[in-house]
Amino acid sequence: MSFFQNFWEFLWWMFIFYAFFAFLWALFMVIGDLFRDHELSGWWKVVWILFLVFVPLLSVLTYMVARGKGMAQRSMEAARKSRAETDEYIRQAASASPTEEIAKAKSLMDAGTITPEEFNRIKSKVVV
């Protein structure tokens, strides 16, 4: 009987642990969405924060019901913007300009590292 009591107690504590972290995750998502929303005035943000401080569970649930659709849209827009910025940075960092490529190839040819034929081949690849 002791094993089953410990087993159910263990399951109960696992559930409590999971519920606590799920609540914290939702709370931080709501707080993040409040600061991400540029349409909501500062006073409404203060009201939501006060409710989150004094009545946290009810406030999180109310916020998700009342503003959940907008919350998802703002989250998707932030992800889209972040991805576009990352892609642009990768494109910018990964590719040098054609002028830089030709200048590098010219310096390699002048140093004797590559032949003039290799220089012309690199130059034709970069120009196209």
Residue-wise pLDDT for 69-118, tens only, equals 999 998 899 899 999 999 988 887 776 678 888 888 889 999 988 999 99
Tell me the C-alpha to C-alpha distance, in Å, between residue 104 and each of 72, 92, 96, 127.
Answer: 47, 18, 10, 14
Q: CA 64 to CA 49: how far, in whole Å?
A: 14
Tokens representing residue 77 in the block: 């827009």
Both tokens assigned to 65: 């019901």
pTM passes above 0.75: no
Mean pLDDT of all residues belonging to the chain: 89
Element at 67 (helix H, strand E): helix 56-94
Band the pLDDT of 3: cuts 50, 70, 90. low
Q: What is the mean pLDDT of residues 31-45?
A: 91
Q: What is the CA radius of gyration of the chain?
A: 29
What's the CA gap between 74 and 78, in Å, rounded?
Answer: 6
Stretch 39-61: mean pLDDT, rounded? 94
Burial of residue 33 (CB within 10 Å: 0-12, 13-18, 19+) is buried
- For the chain, the domains span 2-95, 96-128
Kindly state the percentage of the chain with pLDDT values over 90: 50
Query: Is the pLDDT confidence value at 7 over 60?
Result: yes
- Model confidence at 122, in pLDDT bands (50, 70, 90)? confident
